[in-house]
Amino acid sequence: MSLGGERWPSQRARRLFLRWTAAVIVLVVSGALLTAYVKYRAVYDSIHRVTVTDLGKRPPTYGTSSMNLLVFGSDSRAGLDHHEQVLLHTGDDPGNNTDTIMIVHISPGRHLITVMSIPRDTMVPYYQCDSGPGYPGQQADPSAVERINALLAAGGPSCLWKTIEQQTGIHIDHFVELGLMGFVNVINDVGGVSVCAPFNVDDPVSGLVLPAGEHHINGVTALAFWRTREDIGYGSDLQRIQRDQFMLAQVVKGVLHSGLLTSPGKMLSVVSDVAPSLTTDSGLSMLDLLRIAQSLHGLSSKDVQFVTAPNQPFPGDPTATVEFAQPQADAMFSAIAHDVTIPKSAGRPGSATPSQPVLAAGRLKAVANPARSASAKPTFDFSPATTPTADSPAATPTPSSRADAPSATPSPSATGVGSLATNDGGIYATASCGSDASAFEGPLSP
């Protein structure tokens, strides 16, 4: 059939054309998916993964759909060449300590994130920890305590995971360890971060050189800021945590503004840069990481809060170490574990303040357990009904037990987990970097 001298394609020709078109589309889409898979697989394979074992009798999940990530930063120089060691001002110290320890709690519905910092100089009991590649393990010793930042070198990530679960009663789902260069790459990938200094800073230990005022800094300078401790304020880890939380608040705002959480391509780029410096448990997949990030796309800066585990000077070395302050610490731990409520506290009477030069520079590997305050009890005694997981095939003894573990039934006269920052001296990610002046105050500052 023709019209105006032109012949219409036959029905058979049209079907053939559509089939070829569909085939081309399938090939293009398949190729794109295969390329994406290869890229994602290559990134995933570059992440170091370890199997977590020997967790003992674990805390229950209380049936919530929240997620708890143990996030920590290692000061290991492994993988850094001489140029990078000089650039990052790290030296070649062979140690492997956790200078930063945080529990990142993602509430059910992914509508709120709570980041709880645990001071690196918190004293904790010796738990049984298996040996493994690069670490000797340790035997349980109810009569001794050690700094929590020494656990990674003693028993690897499993030892840190186990100790934190036993001490807090919070069920950890996964862990993420970020190395020094990984931190630098993250900051660079999100476009840098804004920080404020109330005076000129020139710290020869961390390498931080920063004039007074607000500055937008890159990853190398951000790492120096993050690590600065000895020569500012009281030289305390608690003040360092405070400064770092204000910096993290600015990072959160930068991530949300950049649209990173809604762009799989951008996320892949960031993870690609971080992957060589990243260690996770073997149960955390690349897809899990992307799903976690994408599930948070609706967050705003007011939905992210930063708190520090309530603490007080440790009697055995009160100027350099701390212990969890009770009952405030257990109340915070319980709120996170249940993601429901805690009794409203009137401040944090046991916590260190700028007038207390707690956690000054100093070292204490382990000390015999002295007469401790009645509030300092070494470990939670979890319900026998707790079901062992694949990571903990059988319950193992712990140094001692405590009778005041968080109850599965929270107090009815309490406030929600979203109020932790308000009630316990924390901040929200809406905070400006200029409001952290108290974190710089002390005899070591100008």
Token pair belonging to 278: 């990243």
Token pair belonging to 376: 């300092």
What residues does 367 pair with on adjacent strands?
145
d(CA 255, CA 136): 39
Q: 370 with 95: CB under 8 angstroms?
A: no
CA dihedral of residues 388, 389, 393, 399 (deg, nearest 10): -60
Domain spans, the chain: 46-440
Of 256, 258, 254, 343, nearest to 298 by C-alpha is 256
Q: Within 13 Å, how many C-alpha atoms sit on residue 299's CB side?
A: 34
pLDDT at site 398:
39
Full-prediction pTM beyond 0.75?
A: yes
Residues of the chain with pLDDT under 50: 1-3, 341-415
Q: 339 with 148: CB under 8 angstroms?
A: no
d(CA 192, CA 223): 11
Phi, psi values for residue 14, rounded to 5°:
-65, -40
Q: Using DSSP, state whether 201 is helix, strand or coil.
A: strand
Of 297, 253, 241, 301, nearest to 439 by C-alpha is 241
Q: 439 with 233: CB under 8 angstroms?
A: yes
What residues does 305 pair with on adjacent strands?
114, 428
d(CA 203, CA 223): 13
Pairing type for strands 304-308 and 113-117 reads parallel
Strands (E), 120-173: 123-126, 141-147
pLDDT at site 6:
53
Give the CATH fold of the 46-440 domain.
Aminopeptidase (3.40.630)
Q: What single-letter amino acid sits at 326?
A: Q
pLDDT at site 85:
63
pLDDT at site 159:
97
Q: 222 with 183: CB under 8 angstroms?
A: yes
pLDDT at site 290:
75
Q: What single-letter amino acid sits at 380?
A: F
- The 3-state secondary structure of 231-256, one letter per residue: CCCCCCHHHHHHHHHHHHHHHHHHHH
Q: 261 with 267: CB under 8 angstroms?
A: yes
